[in-house]
Chains A and B, each alone.
Chain A
Amino acid sequence: MLASEQPESRGRSHFILKKVLGSLLTLVFVLVFNFVLFRIVQSDPIGSLFRGRNVPAAKIAELRTAFGLDESLWVQFWAYVRQTFQLNFGISYQSRQPVWNEIVSAIPATVALVGISAVLSAVIGTIGGVIAAWRRNTWKDHAITSGTMVFYSMPDFWLGMILLVGFAVVLGWFPVGGMTDAGSTATGLALLLDRLHHIFLPALTLTLAYLGEYALVTRSSLLDVMGEDYLTVAKAKGLRDVVVRNRHAVPNALLPVVTLTAINFGFVLSGAIAVEAVFSWPGLGKATADAIRGPDLPMLQGLFLLFSAAVIFFNLLADVAYAWLDPRVERA
């Protein structure tokens, strides 16, 4: 038994090691790219900060020194790398607080909102896709396919605006924004309920916006699998239709969906930017939207780095999950 297992696990750990190294290389690329983007493409950050506004030259020079922009490029790059690893992303132009502190304080709100929506959209979308494929060309299939396509084709923040006007402004069922009622001193369960009340509409928006992709990918993946011989074999064995579907078809069809899920988890962190802005949800997305208005470049730079790191991490997770689920991976 060991004889057949050992080369397999060696193949897998080799595969995962390769993916980890690839991710680190990508991270280095992002660091360099980030530096180039903010220091070279934009040769005069302070100048463009005040572009079109009447600011005295002395003030500009003072800011340049304050932000360390007088040094040579190499010195700046070295300082940048060192600071990045110390989680020092500079001082926000807007709040004058360290960028890292600003980011850290916004993370929980985004993780809660995006986490809930990502899980819900993945689960509901996948189930919808399975139903659509298994009952293809029936009214269920048409309803699911066209419904998800419509949600998929609209700007997510516009969907949020409609839901907000409908359910918060007109009907008054939900608050118009924020994470808690203003001036609320609730604690414990009351606080939790208050937060759930606030998170409902933005979470619904993101769930509806993202489930289309899961449904479409699951559907087409399952349709590909449905022609496979091993399903005929399973049917011939005397399995019920549902068992054939759940035990043999779905596990094979879900392989690409798992990858999509993990990758999306990385992307939704940054994908909620406009929706968070609509609902004044105090997370990373709103921080980004606020930083754009400045523009608050150190803040944008820090956020961009964080978003990229999240995507790289979840991509790696996707590869690992795939290796775990698909025994064939060692050959790839």
Chain B
Amino acid sequence: MTSLAMQRRRATAGRVLGQFRSSKQGVIGFSVLLVFVVIALAAPLLADVRELNPVYARASGNPQWASPGEFGALGTDHLRRSVWVQFVWGSRVSLFVGLAATILTISIGSVVGIVSGFVGGRPDAFLMRITEWFLVIPFLPLAIVLASILGRNVWNIILVIGVTSWPSTARLLRAQVLTVKQRLFVDRARSLGAGNGHLVARHILPNVSGLILANATLAVPISILTETTLSFLGLGDPSSPSWGKTLEEAFVNGAMVRNAWWYFLPAGLGILIVVLAFTLIGRTLEEIADPRLGRSR
């Protein structure tokens, strides 16, 4: 890469960063998310993972259904486990599944969208027909069916979310690639003898990367909420409990009738705050990628 292109890219990155910093919602979203990322990464320091084991919890003499005043910061559940420990370790699983599923979603969506938009013709028609079908199939039932068939573990959940939620990304990217393709400089580059790989890498990708990033950020909330719902319905991985799994266990074991609010409030609030943070960041990135949005929204 020439130093000129490098400079230009660095300048673009600097501009995006500057615009992001000047957006209040972007900064708030990012700060909040940072707190949760730190909690998730520092989980081993914050909470003893052995506390998740009911046998260990019983052996340590924890009380059952203790409210926050009676035991620790967030009380205990029906199996005497600390809710705080579940919250900290649950953040790890929820964030990991959310991010991993989003990466898969965006990868499938981007490949389909870029290939469809760039190649055009029959492959485009074929891919878009498939995309439309996947858009029409109800997303949650499909995820439920797939998860039921594949079995309950984290990787299957990631796979299920990725396989079910890529179509909207594919459509968005295809439209963007078509616009970029029509711009003059692609024709110019082609006439100079550039290969397809070069065109995609040097001309298409840099022009759609902002959109991909914004779209990815906005897809994380959907991934996290889907994981939560699947876990709540009993399709979560029993060996790595997420926030959704906590909500399921609280529900199944009668936390609501007992008014054991400390059992199900923290996990739900965690989901709500993380989802809001990603939404705020995503909207900011979207406005930067497409300045037209900033005026009205």
Contacts and interface: CB of A to CB of B under 8 A. Distances in A.
B61 to A, nearest CB: 28
Interface bracket on A: 35 or more
A266 B136 CA distance: 10
A154 B268 contact: yes
B36 to A, nearest CB: 14
B177 to A, nearest CB: 21
Interface string B117-160: 00000000000000011001111111011101101000000000
Interface in B245-264: 247, 250-251, 256-257, 259, 261, 264
Given A266-B138, A270-B141, A308-B138, A155 B296 contact: no
A315 B140 CA distance: 17
Contact of B138 (A157, A289, A295, A307): A307
B136 A312 contact: yes
A128 B235 CA distance: 36
B148 A274 contact: no
Nearest to A156: B229
Contacts of A42: 149
Interface stretch (B70-78, B180-188, B208-216, B270-278): B270-278
A164 interface: yes
A227 B148 CA distance: 49
Contacts of A277: 232-233, 251
B54 interface: no
Contacts of A311: 136-138
A220 interface: yes
Contact of B296 (A224, A310, A312): A224
Of B144, B228, B247, B257, most A-chain CB atoms within 10 Å: B144
B221 interface: yes
Given A38-B149, A161-B247, A165-B259, A154 B272 contact: yes
A278 interface: yes
A188 to B, nearest CB: 31
A267 to B, nearest CB: 6
A106 B271 CA distance: 31
B68 interface: no
B268 A158 contact: yes
Interface in A167-182: 169-170, 176
A157 B297 contact: no
Contact of A176 (B136, B257, B265): B257
Contacts of A224: 296
B192 to A, nearest CB: 37
Contacts of A164: 256
Given A154-B275, A270-B141, A292-B234, A161 B151 contact: no
A303 interface: yes
Interface in B200-247: 221, 225, 228-229, 232-235, 244, 247
Contacts of B271: 154-155, 158
B284 interface: no
A41 B142 CA distance: 14
B62 interface: no
A168 to B, nearest CB: 9
Given A161-B264, A307-B141, A26 B132 contact: yes
Given A155-B271, A158-B271, A295-B148, A169 B259 contact: yes
Contacts of A38: 145, 149
Contacts of B221: 153
Contacts of A267: 138-139
A227 to B, nearest CB: 8
A293 B225 CA distance: 20
Interface in B33-55: none
B165 interface: no
Given A155-B232, A226-B296, A311-B137, 11 more contacts: A30-B133, A149-B276, A154-B275, A155-B247, A158-B247, A158-B268, A161-B250, A162-B265, A267-B138, A270-B140, A292-B144
Interface of B: 132-133, 136-142, 144-146, 148-149, 151, 221, 225, 228-229, 232-235, 244, 247, 250-251, 256-257, 259, 261, 264-265, 268, 271-272, 275-276, 279, 296-297
Interface of A: 26, 29-30, 33, 37-38, 41-42, 48, 51, 136, 149-150, 153-155, 157-158, 161-162, 164-165, 169-170, 176, 220, 223-224, 226-227, 266-267, 269-271, 273-274, 277-278, 288-289, 292-293, 295, 297, 300-301, 303-304, 307-308, 310-312, 315
15 contacts: A26-B132, A26-B133, A30-B133, A41-B149, A42-B149, A149-B276, A150-B272, A155-B232, A162-B268, A266-B138, A273-B229, A304-B138, A304-B142, A311-B136, A311-B138
